[in-house]
Amino acid sequence: MKIAIGCDHGGIAIKPAVVKVLEENGIETVDFGCFDSSSVDYPDYALKVAEAVSQGAVDKGIILCGTGIGISIAANKVKGIRAAVCHDLFTAQMCAQHNNANVLAMGGRVVSAELAEQMTQIWLDTPFEGGRHSGRVDKIMEIENKYFK
């Protein structure tokens, strides 16, 4: 398993905790930055992670900004991306189980490093349930196919 991670200055505080979880799980991590707290533009990092997932260079992605909102909106503009901004263990679990989210987004100004670790772990551990959810996710991708060129 290979996971790409990217963040802006608003998400960098929780990045080390997330990377630690990936390492503990034996997951190869591709870190697209940023690497310090200088102000940067979150769409730049969303794009790097989303393209890596979309092109199959990595299996999944994790993106972090202040709220998780801006970086997830940007990532969802890339074909094939289902980025979910999550705030707690339940949403992190459900986005994997029901939505087959291939990118997890979190906010460094919303969740603590400890909670981000736990959310990352539950997202990694939770398989997509399939069944009735497959058809719904397929419908999401049909919308994408209709509107994305």
Active site positions, annotated: 65, 98
Q: Which residues of 47-64 are buried (b: 16+ CB within 10 A; e: fewer)?
A: bbbbbbbbeeebebbbbb
Kindly tell me which of 40 and 92 has the beta carbon lying closer to ligand RB5: 40
Least distance CB 106 / ligand RB5 (angstroms): 11
- Selected binder of ligand RB5 within 14, 63, 66, 101 (CB under 6 A): 66
Which neighbouring-strand residues pair with 83? Answer: 103
- What token pair was written down for 7? 């963040």
Would you count residue 65 as binding ligand RB5 (CB under 6 A)? yes
- Residue with smaller CB distance to ligand RB5, 65 or 124: 65
8-27 residues near ligand RB5, rule: CB under 6 A:
8, 10
Angle between helices 113-125 and 15-24 (to 10 degrees): 40
